[in-house]
Amino acid sequence: MPHPLRSSAPAARLPAFVLAAALALLTATFSTLAPAPLLAAPGKGPDTVADVAERVMDAVVNISTSQNVAASRSVPQPQLPPGSPFEDFFDEFFKRRQDDGGEQRSRRVSSLGSGFVIDPSGLIVTNNHVIADADEIFANFNDGSKLKAELIGRDTKTDLALLRVKPDKPLVAVKFGDSEKLRVGDWVMAIGNPFGLGGTLTVGVVSARNRDINSGPYDNFIQTDAAINRGNSGGPLFNMDGEVIGINTAIISPSGGSIGIGFAVPAATAKPVIAQLGEFKEVRRGWIGVRIQPVTDDIAESLGLGKPRGALIGVVSENSPAARGGIKAGDVIVKFNGRDIKEVRDLTRTVADAMADTDVEVVVVRKGKEETLHLKVARMPEDDKPETPKPASDSQKVAPKKALGIELSAMSDELRKRYSIKSEINGVVITGVDASTPASDKGLKAGQVIVQVGQEAVASPSDVEKQVDALRKQGKRSALLLVSDGEGKQEFVTIPLN
């Protein structure tokens, strides 16, 4: 049997339409059998980012700064015995250096970073640490031009700064994208000025989201394996649509070079900060006046939450928005202004993002039940130190008792003096802890004050015993204690009841 694409007749004698049909069939067959192009295969990445890069490259700038640093005398004058043959020589040498101003001379220090234009009129975003302490700031553009920049405002907590240049013509600008839509594995592109090379592009993926690297109170970095090196700081991290979804800020590297672990401030964090810097030249964060701590497994069980979630309120400042709104110590905030609070950092960021004088709805879990409260957010004070809550009533002095491996005593003037307990702190004083008990493992020690047990205020050792017994009858596996030190710093601690 002949091959389906081969004829026994000479090809020259076949009609034209037969040849055309055979050629079409041959083309279709080979296109079916041929593999797809390599770059289009799943998992191989985008075909190219050249078009996106060409569109945004001119909006990325190199930031150069300089500052004068006073130089200290590096060579001390030697102390020579009187009459030494070198005494006159060294006296003359150092006198001449001083006359020449040698000890007063300063040296000029330069640094490099990156930034990007967000407004054609000349607004540029970068990292605060790129321009910190600079005497002069310059923006160097992709076309070779260079403009002096002025600082509009900075925010040290998110390490962001806003600059302004005055161009002769509108600049190429880029826009912020929605970083909340990012998924781990999405492709991203970084452009910056690594090691002063300028205009360098790298491509990678989103490695993780919401990273806390302990650099500030609002950490929620995007982690990427796109190569980020020294000099990339302040530069943009783009999505594949050419939108800025992050500001490259930090790397983890033992050598100083990229090892594929870089971090960027999400656009969702940066946008409100940049907007306020542009409007007020500072950031005006929201504040409600609480101290919070994480909800652990033990605390979640004690409070009837089922699983750890939300932020536990440890201290409520007197006359604060939280106090006026009805929030109490021991409440767990699970929703704030319509946003779910899964952990402590969520509440910190959400409250900070809220504008002052904004009315918000807050959902708390109190004694196992959800309650909805309303409060008005205030502006965060420069020094956010909450006032001490109102003191509870004084207790009568009774003999020391023990509960949960803790020796307990009623508050007295003698104990206040012995443990330096402030007068406004009231409760039951811990005067000893058995070393072999969970209370010791949890860090409880003499001199601390138990303020609450099971979210109920206690004023005597008997109150503690009664609350512990009540919790056992309720089937609780642990007791939730609100404990204060002598200065008034409070935290919740769980102690097993068995």
> Does residue 31 lie within any of the structural domains?
no
Mean pLDDT calculated for residue range 239-260: 87
Same domain, 276 and 310: no
Same domain, 217 and 241: yes
> Does residue 136 lie within any of the structural domains?
yes
Number of C-beta neighbours around residue 491 at 10 A = 16
> Does residue 417 lie within any of the structural domains?
yes
Mean pLDDT calculated for residue range 383-411: 57
Same domain, 375 and 434: no
Same domain, 426 and 478: yes
Mean pLDDT calculated for residue range 355-364: 91
Question: Of 33-42, 148-157, 444-453, 483-492, which gets the smallest average pLDDT?
Answer: 33-42
Chosen domain end from 239, 259, 280: 280
At 310, the pLDDT band (50, 70, 90 cuts) reads very high
Q: Are 211 and 336 in contact (CB under 8 A)?
A: no
At 390, the pLDDT band (50, 70, 90 cuts) reads very low
Instruction: Point out the residues that are catalytic.
Output: 129, 159, 233
- CB-neighbour burial class of residue 433 (10 A; exposed 0-12, middle 13-18, buried 19+): buried
Q: Which residue has the higher pLDDT, 396 or 220?
A: 220
Chosen domain end from 379, 413, 447: 379
CATH number, domain with residue 423: 2.30.42.10
Q: What is the pLDDT of residue 392?
A: 34
CATH number, domain with residue 141: 2.40.10.10
Same domain, 475 and 406: yes
> Does residue 188 lie within any of the structural domains?
yes
Question: Of 78-87, 205-214, 304-313, 482-491, which gets the smallest average pLDDT?
Answer: 78-87
Domain that holds residue 440: 401-496
> Does residue 405 lie within any of the structural domains?
yes
Does 71 have pLDDT greater than 80?
no
Mean pLDDT calculated for residue range 200-229: 89
Q: What is the pLDDT of residue 11?
A: 38
Report the largest interatomic distance among the alpha carbons of the chain, rounded to a whole angstrom: 121
> Does residue 320 lie within any of the structural domains?
yes
Same domain, 328 and 361: yes
Q: What is the pLDDT of residue 18?
A: 39
Q: What is the pTM of this model?
A: 0.65
Q: What is the pLDDT of residue 213?
A: 82
> Does residue 222 lie within any of the structural domains?
yes
Q: What is the pLDDT of residue 28?
A: 45
Mean pLDDT for the chain? 81
Does 292 have pLDDT greater than 50?
yes
Task: Answer positive or negative: Cα dihedral of 228, 233, 234, 235.
Answer: negative
Does 125 have pLDDT greater than 80?
yes
Q: Which H or E element spans position 191?
A: strand 187-192
Question: Of 32-46, 59-73, 133-147, 383-397, which gets the smallest average pLDDT?
Answer: 383-397
Task: Residue 264: name the closest of 107, 379, 123, 158 by CA.
Answer: 158
Chosen domain end from 257, 280, 303: 280
Same domain, 332 and 355: yes
Same domain, 186 and 158: no
Q: What is the pLDDT of residues 150-196, one digit of tens each?
A: 999 999 999 999 999 999 999 999 999 999 999 999 999 999 988 87
Best mean pLDDT range from 166-175, 294-303, 420-429, 462-471: 166-175
Same domain, 432 and 446: yes
* Number of compact structural domains in the chain: 4
Number of C-beta neighbours around residue 416 at 10 A = 16
Same domain, 265 and 343: no
Same domain, 428 and 456: yes
Give exposure, 90-119, as e/b (b: 16+ Cβ within 10 Å).
Answer: eeeebeeeeeeeeeeeeeeeebbbbbbbbb
**Percentage of the chain exceeding pLDDT 90:** 38
Does 393 have pLDDT greater than 80?
no
Q: What is the pLDDT of residue 85?
A: 55
Same domain, 107 and 186: no
Q: What is the pLDDT of residues 87-109, one digit of tens each?
A: 565 566 556 655 555 455 556 66
Q: What is the pLDDT of residue 497?
A: 82
Does 31 have pLDDT greater than 80?
no
CA distance 464 to 449: 12
Q: What is the pLDDT of residue 105?
A: 57
Question: Of 59-63, 390-394, 433-437, which gets the smallest average pLDDT?
Answer: 390-394
> Does residue 173 lie within any of the structural domains?
no
